[in-house]
A = this chain, B = another copy of it.
């Protein structure tokens, strides 16, 4: 009879066939656009970080940042490591989206990808600064269902426009996934990963939980509302928004003035 110790000594995983494992991250940021007038509050845009691939496969195409899982780290740590390397910024949050393991999804071979949503603070990115010649760039995001039932994902940065088309796919058992109809020149199956990530982000923003991740420590309620509306792609009456979030925020006694209109009280997240 073999003891557990003996068993483990003679056991080797190397004998078995096994895949390579990656983490890919959809890192989002809210950026405030310039004002239309000295009175008007700035508009917000939802931005997604993409990397221009330097090598094969999909050379010169845009892809999500990501990389291979290493020994002695969790898959979350791998995702964080990759996003730190690309942005030089500490992410505010990280949320799992799903696992992509369909055979053939990567031409290099048997590779399964773990997708995450990460939120990056605009302040932090501005401090680090963005290199316009860098391979890493922030794209503005639009994702909507059109009348024909298909989903259009539009990413744009300067002159570069990536337009993907996807269909909703009941993945066997009620869960919804996305099938790529037109990848819009995104590498691998990343168009589908981005669509899934946006869906997860919006679901998480429903209870304001993830919305705070996009905001600084102290914020006005209208800044809060603008961020929420940008993520969810909906609009709410300001009076009702205040009421709905009143349980999630705490007053401070500071105000934001100099905006061309009545100063607004700053709030902070409750508890």
Contact = CB atoms under 8 A, between A and B. Distances in A.
Interface of A: 2-4, 7-8, 11, 13, 16-21, 55-59, 68-76, 91-96, 98-99, 101-103, 107-112, 114, 171-175, 209-210, 213
Contacts of A175: 94-96
10 contacts: A4-B57, A18-B19, A18-B68, A19-B21, A19-B69, A21-B112, A71-B103, A74-B103, A93-B174, A95-B174
A189 to B, nearest CB: 12
Nearest to A177: B76
Give me the 4 closest cross-chain CB pairs, A-B, nearest first.
Answer: A7-B56, A93-B173, A75-B101, A74-B101
A99 B114 contact: yes
A140 to B, nearest CB: 24
Given A19-B69, A102-B74, A103-B73, A110 B13 contact: yes
A109 B16 CA distance: 12
B108 A13 contact: yes
Contact of A172 (B20, B76, B107, B210): B76
Contact of A75 (B4, B76, B112): B112
B173 A13 contact: no
A173 B108 contact: no
A172 B109 CA distance: 32
Contacts of A17: 70-71
B4 A59 contact: yes
Residue among A16, A107, A174 with most chain B CB within 10 A: A174
Given A13-B111, A110-B13, A20 B18 contact: yes
B20 A13 contact: yes
Contacts of A70: 17
B75 A99 contact: yes
A7 B59 CA distance: 11
B18 A173 contact: no
Given A68-B16, A99-B99, A94 B172 contact: yes
